[in-house]
Amino acid sequence: MAQQVDPEVARKELNRLLLLHAQARMAVDTDLKEQQRLIRSYLGASDGFETQKPDDIPLPETPTGPSPLFQAITKLAEKTMQSDEPDPMLVGWAALGEKKWTEKQRMAMWLLCTTRYRETLREMGIDAITIPKPDLTT
């Protein structure tokens, strides 16, 4: 058996539900508009919000090209190749290339350039003092 509902009570309940639905819809629309406003202000629209551009930080200069040590080793290798007894160690280091040198090899080459081959480099126009000492701490 179906229970009879008073039409007046049903109408009032329907009006109440429609009013609740309209209020909820208005709240959602208001929240959506607020979110859109915040997004526009964040993306650059002038709604009173301004962002500060970060300070320009200069990047450290990275040396390009061969290092002074590699230049010295290359010139020494070229000179020793023209002699009667080429130094195979210098020729090998020059042929190997700077990128493949180990830190200990760099230190050994620097020591040779600043001691044994110092005068030879000076004759070729390279002052051994200008060749920076390799850092073994890295």
Instruction: Map out the domains of the chain as residue ranges.
Output: 8-47, 68-130
The pLDDT value recorded for residue 134 is 87
Q: Which residue has the tokens 């509902």?
A: 5
Which of helix, strand or coil describes residue 52?
Answer: coil
Give the best-scoring range by mean pLDDT among 7-11, 43-47, 50-54.
7-11
pLDDT tens for 52-103 read 777 788 877 776 788 899 999 999 999 999 988 888 989 999 999 888 999 9
The pLDDT value recorded for residue 50 is 64
Neighbours of 29 (CB within 10 A): 10
Is the pLDDT at 118 greater than 90, yes or no? yes
Q: Chain centroid to CA 6: how far?
A: 74
Single-letter code of the amino acid located at 21: H
Which of helix, strand or coil describes residue 102?
Answer: coil
